[in-house]
């Protein structure tokens, strides 16, 4: 016996844990519990990492999350792991439960193990509900408004529940603090304790045997089953990591309580509950919001007492298989129904706010300048990153030129590069004077501060700005304070009009705005899409 | 008859070795794949959002030679997800006819605020009694290096301050 073991007993404890005897029928179908514990640990780890760069108050929450996503190295991956890990945990917990249910492993004397498991399932969903608010974007805000409203409509307890959740019918700083407190202070230790109790009960009663196991010799957990658990955990981890690295977690715009058009939806695993609500109107609403969900949880808790028969081989448990199939069918149809009945909003465009969005504040002229800059491949010789120490191409870094040239100088230089800069190997730019003007105007405003916006501007916005400049829209309209005010300023268009309206307006302005002298425009489908997306992203 | 048994190792032993190897291997791999991004996330400084800019500190045309003056200026500082506009002091002194230097407000020992003592003509730090001369050099005390200096330039008699640099030279 080693020195350490003599003093702490740790090695003996680990040995006892690993060399547990398990039934000979144990195998791959029993790996889900281990995966769930692993995913819970990943959530705790990535959650702590996120908390290190996160300010848990409305407003700051959104800004700090954007900081994690756009500035902190690896922040996007960590958030991806936490976000997809949550979804995966739900899937794995349900799979674990389904396996135990199908095999009848909840039967005497394992009723308590099963019931602790049901509570763990509810806790897992509570993480999803409270974590949903924490990005404090529009999606989070409106989703939580609906969730807290449901709670407040519960008879008798509703008012108290609503007060417990931090607001009398309003989602604000107190609600946020309550949700954050639940998510990081109360739920994790509760989950930890219940997992410990759950595992203790599994060990106390032993892994549930299948019929026929009593005549076969038992085997050890380590290393055979431990390997199977490890391999399954690894497979889950590979899927999780791939999703975190490849699938972008969206971020909506900052929560806007005045947005009257937002269509709130919960995360995918709550859609079935959301859809259930729709079947019950008026005084019956409580059936969908409280009675049915409570009955479902109660039924799950009582499963071991409802089914007290002999343990059968899994293939002969036809009722159990039927129940699982029915549940799956019901869940799928409710979820699909919720998805297909979600209307597409006609006044919003999906902008990914998890990427830098400083380009939104640029004028159309500056954005179009970016377009010409990209189209003429200026960046192959000129860097723009505003970092003096970074190695530059053959041309000078245009964000860091020591002396700004005049627009006239640039125009000449674009047309006859070598005439203005002797020895320059830059080719002449084949653009019209108006286009060169736009490019020069953009370069004049370029500083190390705003150069970042150049790389971030998405193609649709640049394409739309190019079109906007070509069609001289700025001679009547104003965007971000630039342009004339003969026509209405275009900022805040999303609040005033729908996309359909604007598309029809392009084709025939007079018909929709009597007295308008805006000429009709025929844009290609691509041009329309770009313009609409751009116009509907403009800040108010 | 299995091949392994001919080499004197039973098949079950080989399989057991494979299991144990895989368990150790996969857990090490997963630990590494999780902890390396975590270390990067915590240790690599975030991308710089704003370049340092010149801030105007005040009029230096009437400064008396070798008499430091405390000037307070407003500076934008990137602080995590925020950009704070904050008041920052600098000790400005004219050392030569055309040379104006501006010292950072913290002692180079442990960051206490020091002050200029008119009677003794030294910068004195109240915490651990570091003493600096008017040109920023350490006269006595535990300070490891001369006072930090802002990058400076003078335009039309106004002093502009850039980023703060610490002197590399040791005492």
Report DSSP letters for A251-284, one per residue. --SBP-TT-SS------GGGHHHHHHHHT--GGG
Q: Which two tokens stand for residue A345?
A: 């909003």
Q: Of A157, A150, A158, A119, which Cα lies nearest the Cα of A266?
A: A150
**Whole-number pLDDT of residue A415:** 84
- Report pLDDT digits (tens) over B84-124: 888 889 999 988 877 889 999 999 999 999 999 989 999 99
Measured CA to CA, the distance from residue A441 to residue A437 in angstroms comes to 6
The answer to whether B19 faces chain A, any CB pair under 8 Å, is yes
Residues A151-176: what's their mean pLDDT? Answer: 85
Among partner residues B16, B44, B82, which is closest to A223 by beta-carbon distance?
A: B16
Please name the residues in contact with A77: beta carbons below 8 A apart, sequence gap of 6 or more: A244, A245, B37, B41
Closest Cα in chain A, distance from residue B129 (Å): 36
**Whole-number pLDDT of residue A235:** 98
**Whole-number pLDDT of residue A448:** 65
Measured CA to CA, the distance from residue A387 to residue A385 in angstroms comes to 5
- Residue B3: pLDDT above 50? no
- Report pLDDT digits (tens) over A513-534: 888 888 888 889 888 888 888 8
Contact B41 A227 (CB under 8 A): no
Classified by CATH at the fold level, domain B55-165 comes out as: Rieske Iron-sulfur Protein (2.102.10)
Residues A368-373: what's their mean pLDDT? Answer: 86
- Report pLDDT digits (tens) over A217-248: 999 999 999 999 999 999 999 999 999 999 98
Contact A223 B40 (CB under 8 A): no
Structural domain spans, chain B: 3-43, 55-165
Measured CA to CA, the distance from residue B71 to residue B57 in angstroms comes to 6
A 10 A CB-CB count for A277 gives 17
Report DSSP letters for A437-471, one per residue. HHHHHHHHT--TTTHHHHHH--HHHHHHHHHHHHT
**Whole-number pLDDT of residue A403:** 63
Q: Which of A47-51, A209-213, A394-398, B43-47 has the lowest mean pLDDT?
A: A394-398
Report all structural domains of chain A as residue ranges with CATH numbers, in order of start: 27-340 (1.20.810.10), 358-535 (1.10.760.10)
Prior bond to A223 cis, omega within 30? yes
Interface test with B, best of A227, A243, A355, A399 (most B CBs within 10 A): A227
Residues B37-64: what's their mean pLDDT? Answer: 83
Query: What is the band of A162 on the pLDDT scale with cuts at 50, 70, 90?
Result: confident
Measured CA to CA, the distance from residue A49 to residue B38 in angstroms comes to 7
Measured CA to CA, the distance from residue A442 to residue A366 in angstroms comes to 5
Measured CA to CA, the distance from residue A490 to residue A536 in angstroms comes to 9
Q: Are A322 and A474 in contact (CB under 8 A)?
A: no
**Whole-number pLDDT of residue A10:** 94
- Residue A396: pLDDT above 80? no
Measured CA to CA, the distance from residue A130 to residue A148 in angstroms comes to 11
- Report pLDDT digits (tens) over A95-145: 999 999 999 999 999 999 999 999 999 999 999 999 999 999 999 999 999
The answer to whether B87 faces chain A, any CB pair under 8 Å, is no
- Residue A474: pLDDT above 50? yes
Closest Cα in chain B, distance from residue A244 (Å): 12
Contact A386 B33 (CB under 8 A): no
- Residue A358: pLDDT above 70? yes
Measured CA to CA, the distance from residue A60 to residue A64 in angstroms comes to 6
- The values of phi and psi at residue A474, to 5°, are -70, -10
Which has the higher per-residue pLDDT, A155 or A184? A184
Measured CA to CA, the distance from residue A350 to residue A54 in angstroms comes to 24
- Report pLDDT digits (tens) over B123-143: 999 999 999 999 999 999 999
Enumerate the residues of chain A whose CB falls inside 8 A of the CB of residue B40: 73-74
Closest Cα in chain A, distance from residue B78 (Å): 12
Enumerate the residues of chain B whose CB falls inside 8 A of the CB of residue A234: 26, 29-30
Rg (C-alpha) for chain A, rounded Å, is 30
Contact B51 A449 (CB under 8 A): yes
- Residue A301: pLDDT above 50? yes
Interface A-B, measured as beta-carbon pairs within 8 A, has a size of: 72
Report DSSP letters for B51-87, one per residue. ----EEEEE-TTPPBT--EEEEEEEEEEETTEEEEEE
Q: Which of A64-68, A256-260, A350-354, A484-488 has the lowest mean pLDDT?
A: A350-354
For chain A, the average pLDDT equals: 88
Half-sphere exposure of B69 (CA within 13 A, CB side): 16
Q: Of B149, B98, B97, which Cα lies nearest the Cα of B123?
A: B149
- The secondary structure element, H or E, covering residue A403 is none
**Whole-number pLDDT of residue A511:** 86
Residues A278-301: what's their mean pLDDT? Answer: 90
Query: What is the band of A369 on the pLDDT scale with cuts at 50, 70, 90?
Result: confident
Please name the residues in contact with B105: beta carbons below 8 A apart, sequence gap of 6 or more: B88, B89, B90, B91, B113, B114
- Report pLDDT digits (tens) over A430-457: 888 888 888 888 888 777 666 777 777 8
Q: Which of A139-153, A313-327, B102-116 has the lowest mean pLDDT?
A: A139-153
- Residue B170: pLDDT above 60? no
Q: Are A537 and A350 in contact (CB under 8 A)?
A: no
Identify the contact set of chain A against chain B, taking CB-CB distances under 8 A. 42, 45, 49, 52-53, 55, 60, 63-64, 66-67, 70-75, 77-78, 223-224, 226-227, 230-231, 233-234, 237, 241, 386, 448-449, 452
- Residue B163: pLDDT above 70? yes
Tell me what percent of the residues of chain A surpass a pLDDT of 90.
47
Residue B107, SS3?
coil
Residues in chain A: 540
- Residue B37: pLDDT above 50? yes
Please name the residues in contact with A424: beta carbons below 8 A apart, sequence gap of 6 or more: A417, A418
Residues A484-504: what's their mean pLDDT? Answer: 86
Query: What is the band of B4 on the pLDDT scale with cuts at 50, 70, 90?
Result: very low
Prior bond to A109 cis, omega within 30? yes
Q: Which two tokens stand for residue A501?
A: 């309206």
Residues A253-267: what's their mean pLDDT? Answer: 85
Q: Which two tokens stand for residue B101?
A: 């230097």
DSSP state of A20: -
Q: Of A93, A167, A91, A183, which Cα lies nearest the Cα of A135?
A: A183
Give, in order, the Cα–Cα distances in Å from B23 to each of A173, A228, B93, B159: 46, 9, 67, 65
Contact B41 A448 (CB under 8 A): no
Q: What is the pTM of this model?
A: 0.84
Query: What is the band of B1 on the pLDDT scale with cuts at 50, 70, 90?
Result: very low
Contact A55 B81 (CB under 8 A): yes
Measured CA to CA, the distance from residue A234 to residue A215 in angstroms comes to 33
């Amino acid at each position: 016996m080693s020195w350490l073991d003599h003093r702490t007993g740790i090695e003996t404890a680990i040995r006892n844990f690993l060399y547990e005897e398990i039934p000979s029928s144990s195998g791959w179908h029993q790996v889900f519990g281990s995966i769930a514990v692993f995913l819970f640990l990943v959530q705790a780890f990535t959650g702590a990492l996120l908390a290190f760069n996160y300010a848990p108050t409305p407003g700051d929450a959104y800004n700090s999350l954007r900081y994690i996503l756009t500035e902190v190295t690896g922040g996007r991956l960590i958030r991806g792991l936490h976000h997809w890990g949550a979804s995966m945990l739900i899937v794995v917990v349900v799979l674990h439960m389904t396996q135990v249910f199908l095999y009848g492993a909840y039967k005497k004397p394992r009723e308590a193990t099963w019931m602790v498991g049901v509570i763990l399932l509810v806790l897992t969903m509570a993480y999803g509900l409270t974590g949903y608010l924490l990005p404090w974007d529009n999606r989070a805000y409106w989703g939580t408004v609906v969730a807290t409203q449901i709670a407040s409509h519960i008879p008798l307890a509703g008012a108290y529940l609503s007060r417990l959740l931090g607001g009398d019918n309003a989602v604000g700083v107190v609600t946020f603090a309550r949700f954050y407190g639940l998510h990081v202070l109360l739920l994790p230790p509760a989950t930890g304790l219940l997992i410990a109790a759950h595992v203790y009960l599994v060990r106390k009663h032993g892994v549930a045997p299948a019929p026929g196991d009593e005549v076969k010799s038992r085997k050890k957990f380590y290393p055979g089953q431990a390997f199977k658990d490890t391999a399954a955990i690894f497979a889950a981890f590979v899927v999780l990591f791939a999703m975190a690295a490849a699938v972008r977690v969206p971020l909506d715009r900052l929560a806007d309580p005045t947005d009257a058009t937002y269509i709130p939806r919960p995360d995918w695993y709550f859609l079935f509950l959301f859809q259930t609500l729709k079947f019950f109107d008026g005084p019956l609403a409580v059936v969908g919001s409280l009675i049915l969900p409570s009955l479902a949880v109660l039924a799950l808790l009582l499963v071991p007492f409802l089914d007290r028969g002999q343990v059968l081989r899994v293939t002969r448990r036809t009722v159990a298989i039927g129940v699982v199939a029915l549940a799956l069918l019901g869940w799928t149809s409710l979820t699909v129904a919720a998805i297909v009945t979600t209307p597409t909003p006609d006044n919003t465009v999906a902008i990914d706010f998890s990427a830098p969005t400083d380009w939104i504040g640029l004028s159309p002229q500056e954005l179009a300048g970016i377009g010409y800059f990209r189209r003429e491949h200026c960046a192959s010789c000129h860097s723009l990153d505003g970092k003096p120490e970074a190695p530059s191409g053959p041309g000078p870094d245009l964000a860091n030129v020591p002396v700004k040239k005049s627009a006239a100088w640039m125009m000449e230089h674009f047309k006859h590069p070598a005439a203005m800069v002797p020895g320059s190997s830059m080719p002449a730019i084949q653009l019209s004077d108006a286009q060169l003007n736009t490019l020069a105007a953009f370069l004049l405003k370029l500083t190390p501060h705003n150069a970042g916006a150049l790389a971030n501007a998405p193609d649709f916005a640049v394409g739309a700005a190019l079109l906007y400049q070509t069609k001289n829209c700025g001679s009547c309209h104003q965007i971000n304070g630039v342009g004339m005010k003969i026509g209405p300023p275009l900022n805040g268009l999303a609040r005033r009009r729908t996309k359909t309206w604007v598309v029809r307006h392009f084709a025939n302005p007079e018909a929709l705005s009597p007295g308008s002298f805006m000429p009709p425009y025929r844009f290609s489908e691509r041009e329309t899409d770009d313009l609409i997306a751009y116009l509907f992203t403009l800040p108010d | 008859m299995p091949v392994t048994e001919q080499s004197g190792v039973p098949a079950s032993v080989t399989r057991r070795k494979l299991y144990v190897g895989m368990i150790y291997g996969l857990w090490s791999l997963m630990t590494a794949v999780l902890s390396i991004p975590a270390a990067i996330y915590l240790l690599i400084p975030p991308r710089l959002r704003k370049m340092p800019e010149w801030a105007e500190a005040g009029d230096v045309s009437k400064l008396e030679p070798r008499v430091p003056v405390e000037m307070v200026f407003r500076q934008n500082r990137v602080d995590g997800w925020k950009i704070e506009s904050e008041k920052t002091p600098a000790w400005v002194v004219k050392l030569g006819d055309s040379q104006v230097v501006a010292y950072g407000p913290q002692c180079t020992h442990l960051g206490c605020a020091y002050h200029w003592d008119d009677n003794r003509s030294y910068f004195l730090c109240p915490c651990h009694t570091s003493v600096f001369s008017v040109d920023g050099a350490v006269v006595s005390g535990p300070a490891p290096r001369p006072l930090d200096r802002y990058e400076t330039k003078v335009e039309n008699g106004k002093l502009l301050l850039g980023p703060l640099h610490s002197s590399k030279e040791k005492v």
